[in-house]
Amino acid sequence: MNPLIYSVAHVLSGFLLVAFTYQAFIAPHPQFRRRLMIYTGTTSLLMLVAGFGLLAKLNIGFPLWVMIKLGCWVGITLLSGLAFRTPMLARMYSILALALIGIAIYCVYFKPV
Question: Which residue range is the domain that position 30 belongs to?
Answer: 3-110
Residue 29 predicted with pLDDT over 90: no
- Of 107, 113, 99, 94, the closest CA to residue 22 belongs to 94
| pLDDT, tens digit, 9 for 90 and up, residues 91-111 | 999 999 999 999 999 999 999
- What pTM, to 2 d.p., does this model score? 0.92
**C-alpha–C-alpha distance, residues 33 and 39, integer Å:** 10
pLDDT in tens, 78-91: 998 899 999 899 99
pLDDT of residue 35: 94
Total domains in the fold of the chain: 1
Q: Which amino acid is at 52?
A: F
Amino acid (one-letter) located at 54: L
Q: What is the mean pLDDT of residues 67-83?
A: 95
How many alpha carbons fall within 13 Å on the CB side of residue 103?
A: 19
